[in-house]
Amino acid sequence: MAEGVLAGLRVADFSRVLAGPYATMMLADFGADVVKIESPAGDDTRSWRPPVDAFGESTYFASVNRGKRSVICDLSQPDGLATARRLAETADVVVENFRPGVMEGFGLDEEILRQRNPGLIYCSITGFGRAGGAELPGYDLLVQAVGGLMSITGSPEGEPTKAGVALVDVLTGQNALAGILLALRERDRTGLGTRVDVDLLSSLLSALTNQASSTLATGRSPSRLGNAHPSIAPYESFSAADRDLVVAVGTDRQFAAFAEVLGRPDLAGDERFRTNDRRVASREELRAELAPLLAARSAGEWVTALGRARVPAGIVNTIAEAFAFAEALGLDPAVVATDAATGRTSRQPATPIRLRDAPAEHRSPAPRHGEHQALWADEMAAQDSPALTETENPE
């Protein structure tokens, strides 16, 4: 396999839980040496179980920490703090998601580290930024609520609903990854590092895209529509004879073809449904016409028939079915990361970014707590750089 495009890049990863670890795992997948700096208690997600894998390890932790090395640094002790500082000062990238002010208190902030490492990329991930929201706890569920996502998720008759995964953390991790890569490109140009700031709330507001744009343009916030779309119809889920499916009719041509497959070509000529804007205005009447028709056959039959007519449709899969579907399409959605030394394996979702000439390499499962302590100590002992001065634990 080709050497990763980020080979030779060292990342000191002080982040925990999801957003930061997701970003640094992606860096590791493309060859970066990511050293995960953990407290004596370890990343919080090590204890988030069940479920566990075959080795009794948290599958949550495993999902965002493959390919990394784990080193324990007790920042409350001078030797642990000195080790952490040495890691940071010899890294190309530092990633942290502590509450604003914590890294400064330990002398691990950007300003201090840059004095010894002017090329350092320093990525800070917060919940609500470093100004007025600095003290607010950055939990994904909280951000989904205050950021408006829950207000547009769920059925109109039901309660506001969160997404089924910590989506804001994942989006923020992707933004952190993009910011780090942009900063590395800038360093190529100037020779100097820079600071990257991302926060959960800004990531969510940007990701609201069309819903945010309509709100800013009209001054009106959208409401919950369940699985329906605010600007397209029919673009939602229906119950077939055996299970649920979705149809995603995005054009008038597709709607005419859809009506033909349903055996109701007259619907395309109905003045209430002839164009998309009219279908949106008459979405309840349209659904009343479509629901009994779609309930008459199985979801699989409808997907096959609609596919022939080039009308987008699909079954509402379970996650296991979704992986099987992607596998059938040749997407190779899952990989097995193997520890060459121990033979320990972990089946993981594959990196979604594919580079033809330098593909991702899923080099090893998530590390055990402190697994690489001795290896790191040997590396530091072999270096010619002078020993660092120990720093007392700040109050």
75: domain CATH number is 3.40.50.10540
Output the pLDDT for position 153.
Answer: 96
Number of domains in the chain: 2
Per DSSP, the residues of 267-279 read: HHHSTTTSSHHHH
262 and 155 belong to one structural domain? no
CATH classification at residue 246: 3.30.1540.10
pLDDT of residue 173: 98
Q: Which long-range contacts (CB under 8 A, 24 or more apart) does 292-297 make?
A: 293/262, 293/263, 293/264, 294/238, 294/239, 294/240, 294/245, 294/247, 294/262, 295/238, 295/239, 295/240, 295/241, 296/241, 297/240, 297/241
Q: How far apart (Å, rounded) are the C-alpha atoms in residues 388 and 115?
A: 14
Read off the pLDDT of each residue in 301-330 and give the average, rounded to a whole number: 97
pLDDT band at 394 (very low <50, low <70, confident <90, very high): very low
Is residue 339 among the annotated active site residues? Answer: no
Question: What pLDDT was estimated at residue 221?
Answer: 96
Axis crossing angle, helix 78-89 with helix 373-382, rounded to the nearest 10: 70
Q: What percent of the chain is modeled with pLDDT above 70?
A: 95
Residues 178 and 113 in one domain: yes
CA 120/CA 114 separation, integer angstroms: 6
Q: Please determine, for residue 46, whether its predicted confidence score (pLDDT) is greater than 90.
A: yes
**Does one domain contain both 14 and 89?**
yes
pLDDT band for 344, please (50, 70, 90 cuts).
confident
Question: Domain check: are 51 and 125 in the same one?
Answer: yes
For residues 140 and 122, what is the distance between their CA atoms, to the nearest angstrom?
A: 23
Whether residue 278 is found in the same domain as residue 313: yes
Out of 109, 169, 252, 270, which one is annotated catalytic? Answer: 169
Q: Which domain holds residue 186?
A: 10-207+335-382
User: How many CA within 13 A on the CB side of residue 42?
Assistant: 16
List all residues 6 or more positions away from 170 whose beta carbon is below 8 Å from its beta carbon.
18, 19, 22
Looking at residue 51, the DSSP 8-state letter turns out to be S
Same domain, 51 and 185: yes
Predicted confidence at residue 389, as pLDDT, reads 40
Phi first, then psi: what are they for 169, rounded to 5°?
-60, -45
pLDDT at 387: 43
pLDDT at 319: 96
Q: Looking at the predicted structure, is the pLDDT value of residue 92 above 90?
A: yes
pLDDT of 222 > 50? The answer is yes
Residues 168 and 259 in one domain: no
Report if residue 90 sits inside a domain: yes
Q: How far apart are CA 169 and CA 167, in angstroms?
A: 5
* pLDDT above 50 (res 224): yes
pLDDT of residue 55: 86
pLDDT at 388 (0 to 100): 41
Rounded to an integer, the average pLDDT of 144-151 is: 97
Burial pattern 128-163, b for ≥16 Cβ within 10 A else e, equals: bbeeebeebebebebbbebbbbbbbbbeeeeeebbe
Asked if pLDDT for residue 395 goes beyond 70, the answer is no
pLDDT of residue 391: 37
Query: Is 46 found in the same domain as 188?
Result: yes
Integer Cα distance of 8 and 54 in angstroms: 32
Average pLDDT along the chain: 93
Instruction: State whether 291 and 142 are in the same domain.
Output: no
How confident is residue 376, by pLDDT bands cut at 50, 70 and 90? confident
Q: Is residue 214 part of a domain?
A: no
